[in-house]
Structure 1
Amino acid sequence: MPTAPLPQNTDELYAALRDNGQRPYGRTRTVTAEELVDAAEQFDDPAALVCALLELQSAYTYGSEPRKSPVVFARILNLYDEQPDVFDDSLRHQLFWRFKWVANALLALPEVPLPTLRQWLTEMRDRYTKADLDLQPYYGQAYDLAAHIGEGADLAYDLWASRVRTRLSDCEACEICTRARYHLGAGDDARALRIWEPVLSGKDSCQEEPARSVSYALLPLLRTGQTDRARELHLAGYRACRRNASMAGEVGRHLEFCALTGNEARGLELLSENRTLFEEVDSPSEQLDFLTGVEVLLQRVEFLGHGELACAGYAGRAWTVSALRAEVRGRADDLAARFDARNGTTTQSAHRRARLECAPLLDALELTLRPRELDDLVASDEAVPAAAPVRRTAALPESLSELILRARELHAQGHPGDAACWARLRVLTAARDYRHPEDPAVGPLLQLRADLLTDEAYTARSKDEFDEAVALHEEAAGLYEDAGLAGDAAVAQACALLAAAEAPVRDQSAEPADETAQIEALTAAHAAMVRLQEETLGLTPLQEARLLRLRASAHGIRLQASRSEEHIAPAFAELGLLQEFAARHGLANQSSGAGLLHATLHALSGNLPAAVTEIDALLARLRAEGPAWHLPRTLGLRGRIQLGLQDPEAAYKDLTEALRAAGEWPADADDRGRIHQDLAETCMHLGRPDEALRHLTRAAEQHLRYGSRVDGFCAYSNAAQLSVDLDRVEDAIALLDSVLAEPDIAKGELDDRLTAQLRLTRARALHAGGDLKAATAEFAELAAESAGWDDDPGSHAMIAGETAVVLAEGGEFGPARAALGQALAAHAKSPRYEQISNHLREVARLQAKHQGMEGLRDARAVLADAERVAVAADKAGFTPQGRSLESALAYEHGRVNAYAGEYESALAALDQACALLGEFGPGDDRLGEWTECVRLAGAVEGLYMERTAPALARVDAAITRLTALGATEEAAPLRELAAQIRDE
């Protein structure tokens, strides 16, 4: 079946060829190109057929199908010989340019005999000579053949490099790469890098550059000590070649770079991302290059003792590192041997051997914001993550009875070491041959199973998986009842009540209900707990304390949800009961927990100084009497409160101490991720964004490994956005690419809104990094998906608006206007006045800038929409966080009209903007906006309308006003403008 309706005439054919030329290279483009050749053959138009064949050859060449490219070119060459008049200057240029493509394609095929390669070069030379074309391109191909064979390369290089470039020479960037690789092969890293500099810095580029040069330059950069540059180029260069069949060799060199810098885990991650290259690459030369890079990586992973680690490989079976390495080694050795047999040398095998024998160049180079070890990959495949080293937890008892009793003892104390005991017991009880101890002190198996369910329920609740927690607690309660343990059953049932009340309350449509329902649920849960405690006979003091703690928690959470003064006193009263009971019975764990809750209640009620006083007293007790494992959370709370008191220095001190204290306990049993997040926020207040970024990434990994994946991905999203703000765009993109490749995200198991947020941040990063094409594609896809978010039209309005802006930047104003229509429709349901106004104004500006007078009408229509938004915002009493919508709109009218040459209208709009800003004094936030309005008005009047005197009067008056206000910095651009007007 055709991929699209076939063209019915040559106009449609040329349009289809243009459309296909916009597609990325791959099977879709190639198949379409084949169909278009078939269609072109139906028309009596040889030029159209030539154009279709040229597009097909491009698809084969850049789609890594070298066997087919020469066949297509032979047809083009025959047409040229038969009907040379069909070839205008452009088609003739394309014809002679592609002699090089055929030479490269034949070189990449070991089944093509060496005499055939030489014969083709002779054909190229003769054709160029007959056409009176310079032979520099021919000598370039002759050098490529000599370098590939490994004979006569120096002479061939001199014959090529000494000649002057012509119109048919490879582009400057490609020739720079060839020259640099020649010196690289001679062992002169420094000279190669000097030659490469224009390409590596982005001054010279083409379709394959600088990605190709970057892949070759990575190791020389390391060998010359330029590790930061190598890291930077790896991030940008890899993104340019990933999943690209025609650049499989470049991907292989990035894998090799990872293997030689202690980034084996990242290498396996990138290998998984490029798994399709095992099947898609049809070029034996690219296969050899790719597979050798893969083997370097797998060899290193196996050497480090992880040969049994699962990895991505050829389709059709599951692979371990060792198994895939053996398969890759066999295939690559065979390819190298075939090339050497064809060439009559051992050059290709020698090159391959040299890469495989290269020792690591660095023990560790932090390539991304998400540094991962091979052990992390092992842990991610395990049901229970491996616990971090713990200094304060004793070795687990060997005896099963002792292990069970130890777990219960630690749990009663609230000791974090109980997690390791429960984890071990979970494994033991799951075994087929498990035999429960006949020990009265241990109790029946039902009790142990209930204990394990309770531990799982606590974990689920800590991850906000409330429904799961409720089910587990209720099942545990039933088992405790069956075991005759009414007190434990009551505690489990109370836990279920609290978890059920904490879960987001939903109405019948499954939409979140208002907070009143949640408050009612917590009130009812508290009342049920009170009845449960009164009706349960034989409660132990510890069980009584746990029930009191749950009752106090219900009232505390209710206060947090309502922030109502009427809920403060009941919460403190309930907590007082717990504190008095715990003190009377000597329950240290419950007593310190109550102190932490007491401080939290002060914070929730708005009395932060009292919260600090309470925490200081609690810290003194914990340091003197313990339990020490409460120190991290208590110090963390104190840090958050200090941040609320606008004392980030004190907050930083407390949170840093909390982090040190947390290091004394199991990593899966504390709130270390939360501490890192709080430290990140504190660092931002202290003006330390780089340190904040480190804490965000550490928080994310802590959450992913030991806590909530949702919290982890949110932290990574924030880290990526901060990276963009710090102009570390490639870091942000690499981080998000890694996160979006996580199995639960790739399989669509994560909340779709959170996944969309990650993708939105990536789209913004791509945009910030100048990759407009990739950013536009991502934004457009997100806009299409978010159109179905009936419960969240505001987010769709934001995404559609941003999509419109990037479309307009690319000059696609029709699609941009359509996206704005979607944004406005969603905005009508859930207003986003400031955002939609910004997007409308920016699209209007871009259209006027790109199209001038031709785009003025449409730009003004977009500004009319922005005016309606501003009027509606004013009626709704909306106050923007940034500029006034009215003054911003007037300023944009000024810019739009100025771009279109409507200078009188522009000047009037800018005067209006200045008037709307009104009067202001020193330090007013509007100073910068007013100055910019004056500057643009002065430029329009003085430079474009050539009204020098009034323009200078306007600008000089503004300078005087700003100087009087002490705004010398704001006045600087006006002084520069005045000087420019006087000069001109």
Structure 2
Amino acid sequence: MPTAPHPQNTDELYQALQDNDRRPYGRTRTVTAEELVDAAEQFAEPRPLAHALLALQKAYHYGSEPRKSPVVFARVLTLFDEQPDAFDERLRHTLFWRFKWVAGALLALPEIPLAGLRQWLTEMRDRYEKAGLELQPYYGQAYQLAAHVGEDADLAYELWAGRARTRLSDCEACEICERARHHLAAGDDERALRTWESVLAGQESCQEEPARSVSYALLPLLRTGGADRARELHLAGYRGCRRNPSMSGEIGRHLEFCALTGNEARGLELLAENRNLFDEVESPLDQLSFLTGTEVLLQRVESLGHGGLPAAGYPGRTWTVAGLRAEIRGRADDLAARFDARNGTTAHTDRRSARLDRAPLLDALELTLRTRGLDDVAPAAVPAAARTAAPVPESLPELITRARKSAAEGHPDATAQWARLRTLATAPDYVHPDDPAAGPFARLRADLLADEAGRLGEKDLFDEAAARYEEAAGLYDDAAEPGRAAVSRASALLAAAQIAPQDADEAEARAAALTDAHASMVRLHEAAGDLAPYQEARLLRLRATVLGLRFQASRDEEHVEPVLAEVERLEEFAVRHDIAGQISGALLLRAGTHALCGDLPAAVSATDALVDRLRAHGPAWHLPHAFGLRGRIRLGLRDAQAAHADLTEALRLAAEWPADAVGTARLHGDLAQTCMRLGRPDEALRHLTRSAELELRHGSRLDAFCTYSNAAQLSLELGRVEDCIALLDSLLAEPDVAAGEVDDRLVAQLRLSRARALHAGEDLKAATAEYAALAAESAGWDDDPASHAMIAAETAVLLAEAGEFGRAREAADQALAAHARTPRYEQLSNCLRELARLQAQQQGAEGLADALALLADAGRIADEARAAGYEAGGRDLDSALAYEHGRVNAYAGEYETALTALEEALTLLGEPGSESGAGAGSESGADDKDHVGEWAECVRLAAVMEGLYLERPAPALARLDAAVARLGALGHTEETEPLASLAARLRDED
């Protein structure tokens, strides 16, 4: 099926070629290029055909199809020989440039004899000499052949590198890479890195640079102590080549880098992201490089005992690490042998062996914000083992007894014990022991259901938890365990009461449900007989908890005393029966209730008492909770330093227990908040990412993605753009995200953060594509037009930055339509003003009419905001609009109009320190400083219009001198500097 309309004339052909050139390299671009060659052949003119053929060769070259590139070029060369006058200077330059492409393509094909490669280089030399061209590019290709074969490379290097560059030489960045690689092959890492410096710093670049150089420089940097630099370059460099078939060798080197720095899990993640390369890379030389890098990674993973992990590989079957490694080894060995047979050396086999024989260069290098180990990428069905859990007994009756005892005590080891029992009891060959200690199978099934229900409740899956508890209660009845049945039914009541109500007044409905649940629990408790002390304590704890949740939902002070009464009842009973876990539970509830009441000093006193008791009497696993609660309370008291100390101690103690049992994820989250209060954002970022990964590991995926989203935003605010992008790429590659199983709005938020990061990283092409896709998707969010307005507005600004003002206007109109449903006054005003500024700045007088139309829309929004009584959080909409009228007209050369608009803006702003000045009387020093800065800039621009462009220096100087005097009297000396500088310039010119 054709991918584009068939051009009917040469103008349409050239337009189609231009449109196709904007497409990313890949199958669609290549097929379209092939169709355009067919279309060009219908015209009698040779020049359009030459353009189409060269475009097709480019698609093959960058689409990793080296077998097809020389064939197309042969047609171009024949056309040149037959009709040289059809080739203008540009086409002729391109023709001679592409000789190098053909040399590279032939080099990548082991079926091309060595004599054929040399014959082509001879052809290139003869053609260059006949055309009167310098031979440095020829010697560059001769060196590349020598380096590839592994013979006489030093001599070939001197013949090439000693010659001056010409117009047909490879770009500076590519030549730097070749020189650095030569030094690298000689074992001189330091010299290679010095040679590479300008490319790695971004001073030299091209289509494939610096991504190619980065991939080669990673290991030398590690060997010379530049681990931090290697990390930075890995993040940026990988993004420049991922999924690109023509850069599969670079991907292989990034995978190798992961394998040699303790980042095997990230390596597998990147391999999965690039699984298309197994199917799309047509170049045997690129295949060899990619497969060898992949094998280095898989070999390392297998050596660490994880050969059974799933791995992304060739399409058509499911692969494990070990299976894929064996497949790759055979294919790569064959490719290396074919190249060596063609070349008559062992260079490729030797280089491949050297890569596979490298030992890890670092035990661990934190490459991304999302640090993961191989255990984290194991199948989700395998539960994470507790780091310090007691050994699980081998005897089944003993295991059952131990698990029940741990559960009764609330001991963290219960998690691993129940997990082991669940695995055993659900096996097809399970036989329940005939042992009084184990009890009937119905009781074990009930125990497992109750444990599962508890974990579902922790994930807020209350409807499922309630159902499991009820089912467990029935089985306990069958097993003649009325006490356990009562506890399960009370737990079911608590879970059911927490199911999100559909009522309009959610808080009131939730409080009512919890009130009913408490009444039912009391009746259940009173009717229950034959309760063991720990079961009765558990019922009392549930009664206190449900009332605590009711107060939390209602914040009604009348609900406080009932909570404290239940807590008193629980504490008295637990003390009388010496149930340590429930005593501390009562103290935790009391402290939490005081905190919810706003009595934070009392809450601190209660947690002090709790910590003292736990240290003296235990249980030790409650200490992380106690320190965590006290840390949160102290944070509420604005004592961030003390909160940090408590939360740090909580984390230290939590390390002794399984993370899910002591709330380690929450502790990291609380520490992140505390670190932000203390002005330590980098430390906060570490805690956020650790919190998120723990949430993800324990199945709380929604919470984890939300936390990671916050981490991404913080990393962007810290200027860690590549960290932000790598984190978001990792999350968006998660299987359930890719499959559309995660909330679409949350995924959209992650993608929006990624688009913003790409924009901040100046990758405008990728950012624009992501923004445009999000704008199209969010247009269908009928329930959330405000979000669509925000996305469309940001998209419009980005398109305008790229000079695509027509598309920018379309996106702005989408934003305006959404704004009409749910107003976003400030955001839309900011967007429209920025669009107007960009259009006037880039197009001058030609863009003035469109810019003024945008400002007119911004004016209507300012009118709407004023009528609605809306107050902007940032700049005043009216004064900002007047200022933008000034700038837009100035860009278009309408200086009188610009000056009039700026004077209006100054009137609206009001002079600093006056009663009419914006921010006058404000308690915020920041607001005042912002107003002063805005006013001073407006004065400066008005003086530029008046004094420089309108050539009226006297009034301009009067304006500046008055402003400097006023600002100086108010102590704003910093803002006076640009005004004084402009005044001095005007006086000098006068």
Find the counterpart in structure 2 of residue 454 from structure 1: 450
Q: Equivalents in 2 of 1:389, 1:111: separation in Å?
A: 55
The correspondence of residues 777-926 of structure 1 with structure 2, limited to 5 A, is 777-917=769-909, 918-919=916-917, 920=920, 923=925, 924-925=928-929, 926=931
- Of residues 425, 428, 435, the one that matches 2:421 is 425
| 1:679-718 correspondence runs (5 A) | 679-706=671-698, 708-718=700-710
Q: Could you tell me whether the CA contact under 8 Å between 2:848 and 2:892 is conserved in 1?
A: yes
Among 389, 394, 405, the alignment partner of 2:387 is 389
Aligned mate of 1:478, from 466, 474, 478: 474
Distance in structure 2 (CA, Å) of the matches to 1:193 and 1:551: 68
1:748 counterpart letter in structure 2: G
| 1:751-804 Cα shifts (integer Å, max 9, x gaps) | 222212211111111111110111111111112222222222222222121111
Aligned CA distance change for structure 1 residues 476 and 151 (closer, same or farther; 3 Å): same
User: CA shift at 1:677, angstroms?
Assistant: 0.8
Residue by residue over 1:839-878, the C-alpha shift from the partner in whole angstroms, topping out at 9 and shown as x without a partner, is: 2222222222222222222222222222333333333333
For 2:743, which of 723, 727, 751 is the aligned residue?
A: 751
Question: Which residue number in structure 2 is paired with residue 945 of structure 1?
Answer: 950
Q: How far apart are the structure 1 equivalents of 2:984 and 2:671?
A: 48
Which letter does structure 2 place at the counterpart of 1:849?
A: Q
Distance 1:146 1:316 in 2: 38
SS at match of 1:65: coil
1:465-508 deviation digits (Å, cap 9, x = unpaired): 2232222222222322333434433332332232233232237x
TM-score of the two chains, using structure 1 as the length reference: 0.95
Structure 1 match to 2:912? none
AA in 2 matched with 1:766? L
Unaligned runs of 5+ in 1: none
762, 768, 771: which is aligned to 2:760?
Answer: 768
Cα separation, 2, equivalents of 1:842 and 1:740:
31
The residue that corresponds to 1:249 in the other structure is: 249
1:900 aligned partner, one-letter code: A
Q: d(CA) in 2 for partners of 1:983 and 1:601?
A: 72
Counting only pairs closer than 5 Å after superposition, residues 134-533 of structure 1 correspond to structure 2 as 134-377=134-377, 380-390=378-388, 393-506=389-502, 514-533=506-525
Shift of 1:424: 1.7
* Cα 1:970/1:530, change in 2 over 3 Å: farther
Give the Cα–Cα distance (whole angstroms) in 1 for the partners of residues 984 and 516 of structure 2: 74
Task: Give, as a single letter, the amino acid of the residue that structure 2 aligns with 1:446.
Answer: A
Residue pair 2:614, 2:623 contacting (<8 A) in 1 also? yes
Change (3 A) 1:214 1:537: same
- The change in CA–CA distance for 1:826 and 1:548 in structure 2 (over 3 A counts) is farther
Q: How does 1:10-89 map to 2 (within 5 A)?
A: 10-89=10-89
The residue number in structure 2 matching 1:931 is 936
Distance 1:409 1:943, change over 3 A: farther
SS in 1 for 2:240: helix
The farther-off stretch of 203-212 and 165-174 is 165-174
Question: 1:513–1:15: structure 2 CA closer, same or farther, 3 Å change rule?
Answer: farther
SS in 2 for 1:877: coil
Seen in structure 2, the aligned counterparts of structure 1 residues 291 and 5 have a Cα distance that, compared at 3 Å, is same
Q: 1:898 to 1:745 in 2, by over 3 A?
A: same
Q: 1:445 to 1:135 in 2, by over 3 A?
A: same
Q: How big is the shift at 1:639?
A: 1.1
Task: Name the residue aligned to 1:606.
Answer: 598
Name the CA distance, whole Å, in 1 between partners of 2:560 and 2:940.
Answer: 56
- Distance in structure 1 (CA, Å) of the matches to 2:6 and 2:541: 73
- Distance, in Å, in 1 between the alignment partners of 2:978 and 2:526 is 76
Q: Hey, what does 2:617 align to over in structure 1?
A: 625
**Once the two structures are aligned, what percentage of the paired residues are identical?**
72
CA 1:569–1:859: 2 relative to 1, 3 Å? farther
Letter in 2 for 1:224: T
CA offsets, 1:355-412, max 9 Å, x none?
Answer: 22333222222221222222332xx31414322321xx54334433332232222222
Q: Which amino acid aligns with 2:906?
A: C
**Distance in 1 of aligned mates of 2:617 and 2:401:** 24
Letter in 2 for 1:37: V
- The superposition leaves residues 244-267 of structure 1 with CA deviations (integer Å, 9 ceiling, x where unpaired) of 110111111111222222222222
Q: 1:302/1:128 Cα in 2 relative to 1: closer, same or farther (>3 Å)?
A: same
Q: Is 2:622–2:662's contact at 8 Å kept on the other side of the alignment?
A: no
CA distance in 2, matches of 1:100, 1:688: 53
Partner of 1:653: 645
* Matched positions, count: 976
- Amino acid in the other structure paired with 2:471: E
Output the CA distance in 2 between the equivalents of 1:166 and 1:48: 28
Q: State how far apart, in whole Å, the 2-side matches of 1:87 and 1:747 are.
A: 51
Secondary structure of 1:879's counterpart equals coil
Normalised to the residue count of structure 2, the TM-score between the two structures is 0.95
Q: Is the 8 A contact 1:526 1:555 kept in 2?
A: yes
User: Which amino acid in structure 2 is aligned with residue 288 of structure 1?
Assistant: L
Contact 2:386/2:416 (8 A) holds in 1:
no
Question: Does structure 2 retain, via aligned residues, the 8 Å contact 1:668–1:707?
Answer: no
Cα distance between partner residues in 2 of 1:902 and 1:950:
19
The AA in structure 2 aligned to 1:689 is: P
Q: Secondary structure at the match of 1:241?
A: coil
In 1: Cα distance, 2:908 partner to 2:802 partner:
33
Q: 1:150 to 1:403 in 2, by over 3 A?
A: closer
State the SS of the aligned residue for 1:750: coil
Contact kept? 2:264, 2:301, Cα under 8 Å: yes
Indicate if the aligned counterparts of 1:387 and 1:667 stay in contact, CA closer than 8 A: no
**Whole-Å separation in 2 of the counterparts to 1:711 and 1:835:** 28
**Contact 1:804/1:843 (CA < 8 Å) preserved in 2?**
yes
Q: Which of 630, 635, 642 is matched with 2:634 structurally?
A: 642
Distance 2:599 2:864 in 1: 39
Q: What's the CA shift for 1:734?
A: 1.3
Q: Check whether the contact 1:387–1:668 (CA below 8 A) recurs between aligned residues.
A: no
- Which letter maps to 1:381? P
What per-residue deviation string (whole Å, max 9, x for no partner) do you get for residues 325-347 of structure 1? 22222212221221122222222
Are the structure 2 counterparts of residues 679 and 832 from structure 1 closer, same or farther at C-alpha, using a change threshold of 3 Å? same
Q: Residue 793 of structure 1 contacts residue 829 of structure 1 at CA under 8 Å; is this kept in 2?
A: yes
C-alpha spacing 1:506/1:19, structure 2 compared with 1 (3 Å): farther
- Cα shift at 1:30: 0.5
CA distance in 2, matches of 1:74, 1:551: 86
Is 1:115 the counterpart of 2:102 in the alignment? no
**1:735 and 2:727 matched:** yes
Contact 1:422 1:455 in 2 (8 A): yes
Structure 2: stretches of 5+ with no match in the other structure: 910-915
Deviations 1:46-72 (A, max 9, x none): 222221111111100100001101111
Counterpart Cα distance in 1 of 2:162 and 2:585: 81
Q: Is the 8 A contact 2:383 2:419 kept in 1?
A: no
**Whole-Å Cα distance in 1 between the matches of residues 860 and 482 of structure 2?**
66
What's the offset of the Cα at 1:517? Answer: 3.4
CA RMSD of superposed structures (Å): 2.2
Kindly state the Cα deviation for residue 825 of structure 1 after the two structures are TM-superposed.
2.2
What is the SS of the residue equivalent to 1:363? coil
Specify the SS of the correspondent of 1:184. Answer: helix
Q: Name the CA shift for 1:652/1:9 in 2 (closer, same or farther; >3 Å).
A: same
